[in-house]
Amino acid sequence: MQFPSDLEIAQAAQLKPLSGIAAGMGIGEHLLEPYGENVAKIKLAALEELADRPKARYVVVSAITPTPLGEGKTTTTVGLGQAMSHIGKRATIALRQPSMGPTFGIKGGAAGGGYSQVVPMEILNLHLTGDFHAVTAAHNLLSAMVDNHLYQGNPSGLDQHNITWRRVIDVNDRALRNIIVGLGTTMDGVPRQTGFDITAASEVMAILALTTSLADMRERLGRIVVGYTKDGTPVTAEEIGGAGGMAAIMRDAAKPNLMQTLENTPVLVHAGPFGNIATGNSSIIADLIGIRGGDFLITEAGFGADMGAERFFNIKCRASGLIPDAAVVVTTVRALKSHSGNHKIVAGKALPEALLAENPDEVHVGGSNLRKQIENIRVHGVSPVVAINAFPADHASEHQAIREIAESMGARVAVCNHFAEGGRGATELAEAVVEAAEEETHFAVLYPDEATLKEKIETVAARVYGAAGVEYSATANKQLANYERNGFGNLPVCIAKTHLSISSDAALKGAPTGWSLWVREVRASVGAGFVYPICGDMRTMPGLGTKPAASIIDIDAEGNIVGLS
């Protein structure tokens, strides 16, 4: 019998009223703002009302360096959350909201998969409660204010050639990467070159993810730097009068969204910052609510442990004050085999036949990546648990090879079949996570606030990436000096690099050593609260492929969504 599609499974789900889901978290119905039948926003008053409740254990789900296909991190997060109820624990899950760019591109949706999904998956992947559109509108309001500022005489002295604030849209569209605005008559604005990024890359999105309250969000919006004068002085959103209107647009978007899994585990879905140039984590506000909602709060960090988890520890936890109790490192047989360097995996294409052949020795060769990612969790003082996301083409000997690698590093390990079996298929993982979370935590960030920006970059490069050194372009050196001079040196760093290697070169597999991190340029997200060095060619506006999902997704005669994956 053919296994049903994710959409078929999701549409057959038996959902419970959200008032009951919220009640299980200790959240009264008076704190809910329903959006239809199966989604609700949680009022920010919940932060204060729940403050006296005991804190849950805090678990972050990360991964080894993924293949272009991804390794099922969201599915594992959902499966783990569901599994907790099978062993007598109450869990809440916190996830990022998917961007519609990937949904209509090649990746598809991000609701999990199989019998470990957030539902309704159509609503999650398409608009949800409009938070992404609020981010888009707030961001573009500031863009309009910048161009109006130039048109009205440029009283701040913005250097037209050093305006860093672009525009955003939640669609993959390569034609918008570089554009010229202000063409036409003198009444149509000041001509200049700019461009569009995808909404997930907006600093407003990063602010939504890192804010702790409405007041904090308002202050952060005001600190956004839109560009610089000719002498390098930053010009902010507050100075050009854009921050207040942005805050008004973002007021309701600051409230987390409540949904549920196929097994009725509560899920907080909030914010969706880009995983390459931003934190790649869901919101602090959702975590501050979810941490009071049961025995465990399980959240997910984007890409591998060298990226999303490093940012979770050093940026998100620094801002939230929350202490993680354990971390899950998701791995797959196919990904470890790919790290042997013997195979090439391309998104949208069938897996190489040789990759599917039984070969535990190849798993051991690629296991260097798993070892390094376990180290990357441990260097922050957190206990790691390895989750083997099992696929039908796997072989028992290959799972055993992964178990040997994990146990040689002193990490707990579990084989998971949550895709096919739901929470029941992840109970071994849940039990391992409970054990790890009960150990004494020695969590610590990698560097102090007072370290210089270069010291912070070099610490992450050496201790997390395994780089032999860091080299800076003349432009990067100039930018770093200017940021230190303008008082941004106390901010943490969010290094933008490829997610397909622990290094900054996507071609380097496993756990490469002896290489240098090349910092091409450095940008500052002052409102969000981090500086991001750019190492390589980072695309902040994806393009559509030859056969994008947009050409398949549709509605049927009854108005049901079809073709969504």
The residue among 94 and 101 whose pLDDT is bigger is 94
Q: Which residues pair with 57 in a beta bridge?
A: 296
Same domain? 261 vs 390: yes
Output the CA–CA distances (angstroms, integers) from residue 99 to 62, 255, 300, 383, 561, in the order listed.
Answer: 19, 18, 16, 31, 17
Phi, psi for residue 390 in degrees, rounded to 5 = -80, 140
Here the contacts of 238-243 (C-beta below 8 Å, separation 24 or greater) are: 239/156, 240/145, 240/146, 240/149, 240/156, 241/145, 242/141, 242/142, 242/145, 242/146, 243/142, 243/218
Strands (DSSP E) found in 175-284: 179-181, 192-194, 196-198, 225-229, 234-236, 257-261, 266-269
Q: At residue 107, does pLDDT exceed 70?
A: no
Same domain? 263 vs 168: no
Same domain? 421 vs 332: yes
Torsional class of 36: left (φ above 0), alpha (ψ -120 to 50), beta (otherwise):
left
Output the CA–CA distances (angstroms, integers) from residue 421 to 109, 112, 324, 504, in the order listed.
Answer: 20, 13, 28, 37
Q: Average of pLDDT values for 231-259?
A: 97
Q: Is 558 exposed, middle or buried (0-12, 13-18, 19+ CB in 10 A)?
A: exposed
**DSSP code, position 323:** -
Alpha helices, DSSP H, located in 379-416:
396-408
Q: Which of 537, 545, 544 is nearest to 277 (CA)?
A: 537
Same domain? 263 vs 388: yes
Rounded Cα distance, 474 and 429, in Å: 48
Q: What is the dihedral of CA 218, 222, 226, 232, to 10 degrees?
A: -150
Q: Is 358 exposed, middle or buried (0-12, 13-18, 19+ CB in 10 A)?
A: middle
Residues in CB range of 1: below 8 A, 6 or more apart: none
Same domain? 298 vs 411: yes
The residue among 493 and 345 whose pLDDT is bigger is 493
Q: For the segment 41-70, what is each residue's pLDDT rounded down to a tens digit?
A: 999 999 999 999 999 999 999 999 998 878
Q: At residue 198, does pLDDT exceed 90?
A: yes
- Residue 174 located in a structural domain: yes
CATH for 161: 3.30.1510.10
Q: At residue 554, does pLDDT exceed 80?
A: yes
Q: Average of pLDDT values for 510-516?
A: 96
Structure tokens at 445: 């960030």
Q: For the segment 451-470, what is each residue's pLDDT rounded down to a tens digit?
A: 999 999 999 999 999 999 99
Structure tokens at 426: 């992840």
| Residue 526 banded pLDDT, cuts 50, 70, 90 | very high
Q: Which of 134, 249, 145 is nearest to 199 (CA)?
A: 134
- Residue 549 located in a structural domain: no
Same domain? 324 vs 386: yes
Which residues constitute the domain of residue 467?
A: 453-534
**For the chain, how many structural domains are there in total?**
3
Same domain? 269 vs 213: no
Per-residue pLDDT at 105: 79
Strands 266-269 and 257-261 turn out to be antiparallel
| Residue 27 banded pLDDT, cuts 50, 70, 90 | very high
Same domain? 507 vs 469: yes
- Residue 553 located in a structural domain: no
CATH for 338: 3.40.50.300
- Residue 558 located in a structural domain: no
Per-residue pLDDT at 110: 78
Q: What is the pTM of this model?
A: 0.95
Q: At residue 151, does pLDDT exceed 80?
A: yes
Q: At residue 274, does pLDDT exceed 80?
A: yes
Sign of CA dihedral 327, 506, 105, 180: positive
Per-residue pLDDT at 1: 60
Q: Average of pLDDT values for 187-208?
A: 96
- Residue 31 located in a structural domain: yes
Same domain? 462 vs 399: no
Same domain? 174 vs 85: no
Query: CB count, 10 Å around CB of 349?
Result: 10
CATH for 465: 3.10.410.10
> 101: part of which helix (H) or strand (E)?
helix 100-104
In this prediction, what percent of the chain has a pLDDT beyond 90?
84
Q: Which residues of 60-92 are buried (b: 16+ CB within 10 A; e: fewer)?
A: bbbbbbbbbbbbbbbbbbbbbbbbbbbeebbbb
Same domain? 431 vs 459: no
- Residue 545 located in a structural domain: no
Residues in CB range of 48: below 8 A, 6 or more apart: none
- Residue 350 located in a structural domain: yes
Same domain? 388 vs 278: yes
- Residue 208 located in a structural domain: yes
Query: CB count, 10 Å around CB of 532?
Result: 24
| Residue 211 banded pLDDT, cuts 50, 70, 90 | very high
Q: For the segment 307-357, what is each residue's pLDDT rounded down to a tens digit?
A: 999 999 999 999 999 999 999 999 999 999 999 988 888 877 788 888 889
